[in-house]
Structure 1
Amino acid sequence: MDPTPGTPDQDANSRFDDEDYPAYSMGRAAEILGVTQVFLRSLDSAGLITPQRSEGGHRRYSRYQLELAGRVRELLDRGTAVDAACRIVALEDQLAEALRANEVLERSRREGPG
């Protein structure tokens, strides 16, 4: 039986699919990425990712933020400095967003007015 829209089960399912939902505690995020909590705090200080805060003030990370942090870690493992890795990841993210926006505009231009 499908959950009724607006019920806790339905809301939980939609959050599960939302890559921006802050589902991971700092400890769990660090464990998933194989990094330290200090590393995650450094990405926050660098301005690359800003985790949401729980009511108790604890950092909460989304899947999307973990993807960015994982990319930084890959660059660090290849010898890139932290500041440079954060800048590279930020620029890659901006480029991906611009390409998505361009694709939407191109599609709407080809389809013409509704």
Structure 2
Amino acid sequence: MPPPSTRPVDKIDDDDYPAYTMGRAADMLGTTPAFLRALGEHRLITPLRSEGGHRRYSRYQLRIAARARELVDAGTPIDAACRIIILEDQLEEAQRINEDLRTRGGTS
């Protein structure tokens, strides 16, 4: 039996597993490979590379790319869309930390 970390089910359920090729990712998002490359150039997502050097995307990265596409489709320039998403992520993390601190050490 393979080690637990290499079981196929683990990869299927792993949001960070780079399961999608650039072409498949672009098709799923209804966009072009150039759009995905632009997101990489703006450092919004960094796809992993296959042994052959091809870009591979995770489900998590596809969700981020989908959010970027929503903003761009609404008329936001791609560089601004990437910055907005980064700021949204930072805000969400700060709120999560704040809530954690509040629930762990609420009384002094």
Identify the TM-score tier after normalising by the shorter chain.
0.7 to 0.9
1:97: which partner in 2? 93
Identity of matched residues, %:
59
**1:26-41 map, 5 Å:** 26-41=22-37
* Divergent runs of 4+, >3 A: none
State the shift of 1:40 in Å. Answer: 0.2
| Cα shift at 1:93 | 1.3
Q: Number of aligned pairs? A: 107
List gaps (5 residues or longer) in structure 2.
none
CA RMSD of aligned residues (A): 2.1
Deviation at 1:62, TM superposition (A): 0.8
Report the counterpart of residue 3 of structure 2 in structure 1: 6
| Cα drift, residue 13 of structure 1 | 1.1
Q: Which runs of 5+ in 1 are unaligned?
A: none
Normalising by the residue count of structure 2, what TM-score does the alignment of the two structures yield? Answer: 0.87
Distance 1:7 1:84, change over 3 A: closer
Answer yes or no: is 1:75 the counterpart of 2:71. yes
Letter in 2 for 1:74: E
Match of 1:18 among 3, 14, 20: 14
C-alpha separation in 2, matches of 1:33 and 1:14: 24
Q: In structure 2, what residue type is equivalent to 1:76?
A: V
In structure 2, do the counterparts of structure 1 residues 7 and 88 end up closer, same or farther at CA, with 3 Å as the change threshold? Answer: closer
Q: TM-score, normalised by structure 1?
A: 0.83
83 and 7 in structure 1: CA distance in 2 versus 1, 3 angstrom threshold: closer
Aligned-partner residue type, residue 78 of structure 1? A
* 2:107 is the alignment partner of 1:106: no
- Residues 68-89 of structure 1: CA distance to partner in whole angstroms, max 9, x if unpaired? 1101110111111111111001
With 96-105 and 76-85 compared, the bigger mean Cα shift is at 96-105
- 1:49 — aligned with what? 45
